[in-house]
C-alpha cells in the first residue's frame, strides 16, 4: 500500500489525515495518509527516505514550509513565488515541490466570487499564507492589492516579489490601523495573521458600518475569531479557513494520484472536516 505523509511539528490535531483518508477510501485508492511529527533537524533526511519506503508524496505544514524548498529537486512557479512548499510529489528520481494553499483558498471562495465581482484584495498579514493568497488573486486577475501588516517592511518585501511576476499590479503596503480607510465596496478581505489563533484579539478595528459588497475570508478555522464575529455582527458576509484547508487537500491529492481536481470528492472531505467540529 502506498503512503502519503503529513510532516510538521505539531501534527497531532491536524484534520488532514481524516480528510485525505476519507477521500482515498471513497476513491478506492490503495493508499493511506499518515501524520508524522518531524523536527527541523530531521526534516530533510526524512524527506529523502520517504520515496525509498514507497511513499508517493507528502504534505508539509508548520514550521517546515520554507525549509521544504531545500528538499525539492524541482519547484512549480507558484511554489517559487510563494516561497514555500506545502506539497511534495515523489516521482522516480525527483522531488517536486508545489504549493496548493493559494488555489485551495481561491476555490473555497467560488460562491462568494460568483455573488460579488471583487475589484480589490485587502490582505491582513504578510507571512506565508499572505504570499499564497496574494499571488493567487493576482494570477486570477485581481490587479489591485493592499497588503496591511504590523511590520510594513515585510509587506513591502512581499510586494517586491509579486511585482517580479505581476509588474502591472497596483500594490499598496500599509500599517494595520489604515484598514478602515482602505475598505471600499467590492473588497475581498483576507485575514492571514496568526492573531486570533488563541486569544480574542483582532488585528484591525472595523468601521461602524461596512461598505456594500465586501467579504471577509478568515483563514483561521475551528474557532470563531473576534474579527469574524464582529464582521458578521455588522451584516458582512464571511467564511472561515475550513474551505481553504479542504481546497489545498483536494489539489494535493489530485497531484499525488495523477487525477484531475474535479475527480476528488471535495464535498465529502468538507463534510468529514465539519463533522469534527460538530458543524452541519
Ligand atoms: P504564516 O506562514 O502562517 O502566514 P507567519 O509567516 O509566521 O505565518 O506570519 C504571521 C503573520 O501574522 C505576520 O504577518 C505577522 O506580522 P509581522 O510580520 O509583523 O510579524 C502577523 N502577526 C503575528 N502576531 C501578530 C500580532 N500580535 N499583531 C499583528 N500581526 C501579527
Ligand 1 atom with the smallest distance to the CA of 131 is 4
Over residues 166-182, the pLDDT tens digits come to 999 999 999 999 999 99
Tell whether the model's pLDDT for residue 192 goes beyond 70.
Answer: yes
User: How close is the Cα of 194 to the center of ligand 1, in Å?
Assistant: 5
What is the distance between the alpha carbons of residues 170 and 152, in angstroms, rounded to a whole number? Answer: 16
Per-residue pLDDT for 279 more than 80? no
**Which residue has its alpha carbon closest to ligand 1 atom 11?**
193
Q: Which atom of ligand 1 is nearest to the CA of 150?
A: 19
Residue 65 is among the residues annotated as catalytic for this protein: yes
Give pLDDT tens digits for 129-140: 999 999 999 999
Mutate to test the pocket of ligand 1, among 82, 125, 244 (most ligand atoms within 8 A of CB): 125
Are 75 and 96 spatial neighbours (Cβ–Cβ below 8 Å)? yes
Band (213; pLDDT cuts 50, 70, 90): very high
- Mean pLDDT across 243-259: 98
- Check residue 278 and give its pLDDT: 73
Total Cβ atoms within 10 A of residue 147: 26
- Cα atoms in the 13 Å half-sphere on the side-chain side of 199: 6
Q: What is the pLDDT of residues 60-82, one digit of tens each?
A: 999 999 999 999 999 999 999 89
Per-residue pLDDT at 92 exceeds 80: yes
Q: Give pLDDT, residue 280.
A: 61
Tell me, using a 6 A CB cutoff, whether residue 147 lines ligand 1: no
Q: Does 129 contact ligand 1 (Cβ within 6 A)?
A: yes
Please indicate whether residue 203, judged by its CB atom, sits closer than 6 Å to ligand 1.
Answer: yes
Which ligand 1 atom is nearest residue 126's CA? 14
Confirm if 123 and 77 have CB atoms less than 8 A apart: no
Instruction: Give the residue, by CA position, lying nearest to ligand 1 atom 12.
Output: 193
What mean pLDDT, rounded, does the chain reach?
Answer: 96
- CA of 71 relative to ligand 1 center, distance in Å: 25
In testing the pocket of ligand 1, which one of 83, 150, 174, 176 has its CB within 8 Å of the most ligand atoms? 150
Tell me the three-class secondary structure of the chain, residue by residue: CEEEEEEECCCCCCCHHHHHHHHHHHHCCCEEEEEEECCHHHHHHHHHHHHHHCEEEEEECCCCCCHHHHHCCEECHHHHHHCCCCEEEEECCEEEEECCHHHHHHHHCHHHHHHCCCCEEEEECCCHHHHHHHHHHHHCCCCEEEEECCCHHHHHHHHHHHHHHCCCCEEEEECHHHHHHHCCCCEEEEECCCCCCCCCCCCCCCCCCCCCCCEEEECCCCCCCHHHHHHHHCCCEEECCHHHHHHHHHHHHHHHHCCCHHHCCHHHHHHHHHHHCCCC
Q: Which of 52, 65, 80, 164 is catalytic?
A: 65
How much is the pLDDT for 277?
Answer: 83
Amino acid at each position: 500500500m502506498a503512503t502519503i505523509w503529513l510532516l510538521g511539528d505539531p501534527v497531532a490535531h491536524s484534520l488532514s489525515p481524516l480528510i485525505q483518508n476519507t477521500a482515498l477510501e471513497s476513491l478506492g485508492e490503495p493508499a493511506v495518509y499518515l501524520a508524522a511529527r518531524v523536527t527541523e533537524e530531521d526534516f530533510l533526511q526524512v524527506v529523502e527516505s520517504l520515496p525509498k519506503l514507497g511513499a508517493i508524496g507528502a504534505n508539509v505544514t508548520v514550521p517546515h514550509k520554507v525549509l521544504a524548498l531545500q528538499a525539492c529537486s524541482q519547484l512549480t512557479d507558484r511554489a517559487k513565488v510563494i516561497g514555500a512548499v506545502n506539497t511534495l510529489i515523489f516521482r522516480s528520481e525527483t522531488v517536486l515541490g508545489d504549493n496548493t494553499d493559494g488555489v485551495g483558498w481561491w476555490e473555497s471562495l467560488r460562491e462568494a466570487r460568483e455573488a460579488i465581482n471583487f475589484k480589490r484584495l485587502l490582505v491582513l498579514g504578510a507571512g506565508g499564507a499572505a504570499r499564497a493568497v496574494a499571488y493567487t488573486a493576482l494570477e486570477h486577475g485581481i490587479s489591485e492589492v493592499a497588503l496591511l501588516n504590523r511590520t510594513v517592511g515585510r509587506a513591502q518585501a512581499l510586494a517586491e516579489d509579486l511585482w517580479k511576476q505581476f509588474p502591472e499590479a497596483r500594490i499598496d503596503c500599509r500599517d494595520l490601523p489604515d484598514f478602515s480607510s482602505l475598505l471600499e465596496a467590492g473588497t475581498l478581505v483576507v485575514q492571514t495573521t496568526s492573531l486570533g489563533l488563541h486569544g480574542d484579539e483582532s488585528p484591525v478595528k472595523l468601521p461602524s458600518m461596512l461598505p456594500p459588497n465586501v467579504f471577509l475570508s478568515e483563514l483561521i478555522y475551528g474557532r470563531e475569531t473576534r474579527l469574524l464575529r464582529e464582521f458578521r455582527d455588522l451584516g458582512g458576509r464571511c467564511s472561515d479557513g475550513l474551505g481553504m484547508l479542504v481546497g489545498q487537500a483536494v489539489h494535493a491529492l489530485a497531484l499525488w494520484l495523477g487525477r484531475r481536481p474535479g475527480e476528488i470528492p471535495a464535498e465529502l472531505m468538507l463534510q468529514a472536516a465539519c463533522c469534527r467540529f460538530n458543524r452541519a
